Amino acid sequence: MKQLWSPHELDSFWLLTDEEIEICTGAYSTNRLAFALQLKYLEHEGRFPRHKGEISAKVISYVAKQLDAAVDSLNDYD
């Protein structure tokens, strides 16, 4: 997957809809960010990521900010 994203591309591909935020908010706080990343990754790649390294740090930060989630919550996620 692409690792460098412009602000416009982040908004186009990784912006969560209100409905997606609502779904993610229902998940446990420790899984919220991972769930959102998998959801958007599946939407764009047609599959789930094999490992965290497939998603760029910039994307992770962008999605985490939308959910008011800590980026380091992914550290405990397999």
pLDDT, one tens digit per residue, over 2-58 is: 888 999 999 999 999 999 998 888 766 678 999 999 999 999 999 999 988 899 999
Structure pTM? Answer: 0.88
Q: Which amino acid is at 31?
A: N
What would the pLDDT profile of 58-74 be if each residue is shown by its tens digit? 999 999 999 999 898 88
For residues 30, 26, 61, 54, the Cα torsion angle rounded to the nearest 10 degrees is 80
Q: How far apart are CA 63 and CA 59, in angstroms?
A: 6
- End-to-end, the C-alpha distance of the chain in Å comes to 19
